[in-house]
Structures are given as C-alpha cells and as structure tokens.
Homo-oligomer: A and B are copies of this chain.
Amino acid sequence: MTRVGVIGVGTVGRAVVDILKKNQSIISARAGETISVKSGVVRDLSKLPDLSISLSQNPYDVVDDPEIDIVVELMGGVELPFEIVKKALQNGKAVVTANKALLAYHRYELQEIAGDIPFEFEASVAGGIPIINALRDGLSANHILSIMGIMNGTCNFMLTKMMNEGAAYESVLAEAQALGYAEADPTFDVGGFDAAHKLLILASIAYGIDAKPEEILIEGIEGITPEDIAFAKEFGYTIKLLGIAKRDGGEVELRVHAALVDEDAMIAKIDGVMNGISVVGDRVGETLYYGPGAGGDATASAVVANIIDIVRSGKRSPMLGFNHPLEEGLRLKDQNDIRSKYYLRLQVLDKPGILAQITSLFAHHFISIEAVIQRPSETECAHLLFATHEATERSVHALISELETLESVLETPYMIRIV
C-alpha cells in the first residue's frame, strides 16, 4: 500500500484524489499495489468539500509524515514549494509536481537533490499530454533537432477565435476570461511566460541546456490586430503562439512568440484550448503530440500516471533523463543571432515616396522583402504590411528602431515572426 500526500488541494488536487479513488481497480492492477491519499494541505480549511482525507494548513504535516511515501506538490509559486519539495526529498519521499515555475527555476538543483529518489513532473508541461514521457524516454535515442509547440491553451483559444471570426484581441480576451480560460490579469498567459516555463523544461530534457526565463526571448500575443489576421489568411498562414527550441550547431535557440505558421503544417491544425508539440529527432524525424494542455482532470491524469510509474517501476532516475553533460559545450544562442522570416505592420502617412523611403531602409539593413501590401486605413493613413526573407533579430530590431524615428511612420512598427 502506497500513501500519498497532496500539497495544494485545488482543482487539480481534488481531481487527483478523485481519480485515485474512482479508478482504484485499474490503478492497483497497473501499479501492482493499492495507492491511497492519506492527507492534504490547503490554504483555507473552511473552503473545502469533504474529500475523506485528513487536511491541514501546514505543508510540513505531509512532508514530515513518516507514513507518506509520495508527496504531490500542486501549490504553485517558486521558492516556497522549492523548500518544501527539498525537505520531502531529504526525507526520502518521492515527489510528483505539476509546478512549471518551480522547474523553470530549480530543475537542475532538484535533479541533484533527488539523486536516486523518484521525482516526476509530467503535468508541468502540456497538462494531459505525456510529452515529458515521450521526450525523455520515447525519443531518447535521438539528438533533438527542434521542438515547436503550442503550449498555452489560453492563447491558442484566443488566436483560433481571432482567425475564425476575425474578432478583435480585446473581445476574445474578455470571452476567454468569461469562460475561465484566462485570469483577471492575463499577463502570464498572453505575455508568453507560461509557455516559456514549459519550453525551458522541455529544452532541458532534450539538450541538457540550463537557462532561466529571463535569458530567453519571450513575447506574447497582445499586439495582434484583425489586420494581421487578414494578412495571415491571405498568404496561407495561421497565427499561433509557439514555444521553439532549435539546435543550430553548437547553439540552441529558445524563444516564445506569436508566429505566422503555414496553414498546412500539422501544428497549424491544433485549434482552441488544445495543445500540440512537434518534436524533430535526428533519427525518428517528426513526431507530434496533441491533447488537452490544462484542466483539472487532464492535469491530474498526468500526476496520477507519475504516481503509478513510481510505484510500479521504482527507480526512474535521473529526473531529467541524463546525468553527465548531455550535449557537451552546447550554448544558449544570443537572442540577437536568431534568424527568422518576419512580418512587419507599419502605419504610415499616405503620401508619395513613403514606400521608397521605407524599402530603402530595409535594403540598408540587408533585409530582403518577399511581399508588401499597401492598405488604406484612416484618412491620409495607410497600413504597409511586409513579409521578409530570412534575417537576424539584430537587423530587424535595428530596422524597427530606425523606422520609428521617421516622421511618416505613425506608430511603433509591429512584428510577427514567420515560421
């Protein structure tokens, strides 16, 4: 009999307790023994429905309980769960977490502290999709060439609505908030930070690369307009918020941003709140994993799978899937060196000679233009929409800075990368 303690009994925690109870017979058959939740930790004891487990407000009641074998951490946050999880490992308890922020900052320290003690985190990336499982175990024979994924359901829901209905950003955000897909302060999702945490976890497993969120390119979807959506449609693209990890010789580039994606690509077909992650290995080629990236039951499905795996298989270490340096000397690529194709939207004064002036600036920065569309906007104004050939971030940002200084350019140019 394995006993579990759940720290943080919210939507996911309640689903974990419920699955372990309702699916008990198949879970015992798979794990080889009975698994039950002994106790839980909550912030507010008065708010909870009856779960027939003992509850406390002190995480250490679980972490220091000698009868608990596996600690499930679902509190959220970074430093407090780090302390609690460390103590659990020091007490010899296996740990399962869904906390991506904790891992985005402390995954290597945790791997070191865990040693041979199982530490699992499937639910931290893409909820119910077993992507950690696939990447760490299923594709372990491969050098990973790239990971490209829709890792945030909130953004994908909003962008899908904008693409399908031509709706404006503000109205789809309000709808996402009304449906409970977006928080009152949506920054963590729409700003790309949530996706960035997940990307860092996947990049560790694939490349052994250590990076913090502050070190990588993170942009959100806030500035996207119906104009951009219309351009995307016209040129056979859809717009997605992507997390991208890409091997380039001795460097790995890591980035989260909105992107124009060829509408025929598998990743472009992932709509609504669903997540999908494409992984290219040097031997296997492209594989893709699709499913619900959030929600109590889907996330709990991943948490419970980790618990079963720990009970069934015992030692499942090392935590990130490797111990020695995985890719000797591999470095994080300087953001300025990242190459991409770009889409640029400029609002300009609608008078003769403007296009010539602007295109000469593109040429000055050695950025080659693939297509340009001029569309009237308000009186005496026009939108210029550019698609470029491949260029570096450095040169595109330099171009944008210079464009901004022109009197005829009426607002900061808006840029979306083309993947």
Interface of A is mostly: mixed
Question: Judging by beta carbons under 8 Å apart, are B139 and A305 in contact?
Answer: yes
Residues of B within 8 A of A285 (CB): 128, 291-292, 295, 297-298
Give A120-136 as 1s and 0s: 1 = Cβ < 8 Å from B's Cβ atoms. 00100000111001100
Partner of A130, one of B133, B282, B295, B326: B133
Q: How many copies does the complex hold?
A: 2
A286 cross-chain contacts in B, Cβ below 8 A: 291-292
Q: Residue on B with the closest CB to A309?
A: B137
Cβ distance A228 to chain B, nearest Cβ, rounded Å:
25
In whole angstroms, how far apart are the Cα atoms of A142 and B15 in the complex?
12
CA separation between A300 and B285, bound complex, in Å? 12
Q: Are A289 and B289 in contact (CB under 8 A)?
A: yes
* A252-298 with Cβ < 8 A to chain B: 266, 269, 281-292, 295, 297-298
The 0/1 profile, CB within 8 Å of B marked 1, for residues 379-402 of chain A is: 000000000000000000000000
- Per the CB 8 Å criterion, the residue count for chain A at the interface is 65
Interface residues of A in 38-74 (CB under 8 A from B): none
Q: Which residue of B lies closest to A279 (CB)?
A: B291
State whether the Cβ of A315 lies closer than 8 Å to any Cβ in chain B: yes
Closest CB of chain B to A336's CB: distance in Å?
28
Closest 8 CB pairs between A and B? Answer: A130-B138, A287-B291, A141-B304, A128-B284, A284-B301, A288-B290, A29-B322, A283-B301
Residues in A lying within 8 Å of B, measured CB to CB = 15, 19, 23, 25-30, 32, 122, 128-130, 133-134, 137-143, 208, 266, 269, 281-292, 295, 297-298, 300-305, 307-309, 312-318, 321-328
CB<8 Å pairs between A and B, sample of 28: A15-B283, A19-B283, A23-B142, A27-B141, A28-B324, A29-B323, A29-B326, A32-B318, A122-B138, A129-B287, A130-B139, A133-B137, A134-B134, A140-B305, A141-B303, A141-B304, A141-B305, A141-B307, A283-B298, A285-B292, A287-B292, A289-B289, A313-B313, A313-B316, A313-B317, A314-B314, A314-B315, A315-B315
